[in-house]
Structure 1
Amino acid sequence: MSVQSLGLIETVGLTAAIEAADAAIKSANIVLIGYELTKSNGVITVKFEGEASAVNTAISAGCAAVSRIGEIHSHKIVSRQEDELTSASYADDNMTVII
């Protein structure tokens, strides 16, 4: 079994977040975890996981799609995440699952 990597794209606004998620899913074999609203400035974090190369491709596609319509706040790839991080990624405190 391969170890999963976590991909995060932070956008400004829901439309940009949906565009990032759509482009990421269509570009690579990843699993969309969902999105999380932050507490300020309309920043939304889109979270997904998959193999490291697929997550890297998805991040690139998602960021390219958002740059055409909105603003990217930041992006990050966490390679080979630990089990504790995986459970935190799926925590539903402030998260709405899109899947």
Structure 2
Amino acid sequence: MSVQSLGMIETVGLTAAIEAADAAIKSANIVLIGYELTKSNGVITVKFEGETSAVNTAISAGCAAVSRIGEVYSHKVVSRSDNETSDASYADDDVTLLV
């Protein structure tokens, strides 16, 4: 089994988060983990995982799509994340987007 990378895009607003998830999924072979509501100013984190190159492609596509309609607060790729890091990304309060 190959080691997966973790990708995250933080957006302002749910519409932008859904747009990021939709563009990311359509651009690369990744698995959507879900989204997490942060505790400040409507920032929502969309999380997904896959091969490092696919996650980088998905981050680029998701950020580009959000930039057309809203604001990207931040984005990050954790390449070849450790199993404990991956486990932490699956929080109990995550919500899976149905895109």
2:2 equivalent to 1:32: no
- Which residue of structure 2 aligns with residue 68 of structure 1? 68
| CA deviation map 1:42-88 (0-9, x unaligned) | 00000000000000000000000000000000000000011111111
- Please report how far the alpha carbon of residue 98 of structure 1 lies from its aligned counterpart in structure 2 after TM superposition: 2.2
Offset at residue 95 of structure 1 (A):
1.6
Q: Distance in 1 between matches of 2:49 and 2:59?
A: 11
Deviation at 1:96, TM superposition (A): 1.1
For the residues of structure 2 that align with 1:72 and 1:86, how far apart are their CA atoms?
Answer: 23
Q: What pairs with 1:50-61 in structure 2 (closer than 5 Å)? A: 50-61=50-61
Aligned-pair Cα RMSD in Å: 0.8
Q: TM-score, normalised by structure 2?
A: 0.96
- Which residue pairs with 1:80 in the alignment? 80
Could you tell me which runs of 5 or more consecutive residues in structure 1 were left unpaired when the two chains were aligned. none
Q: 1:45 is matched with which residue?
A: 45
Mapped to 2, the partners of 1:98 and 1:81 lie a distance apart of 22
Percent of aligned pairs sharing the same letter:
83
TM-score (norm 1): 0.96
User: Which aligned runs of 4 or more in structure 1 are off by greater than 3 angstroms?
Assistant: none
| 1:58 partner SS | helix
Corresponding residue pairs, total: 98
> Gapped runs of 5+ residues in structure 2?
none
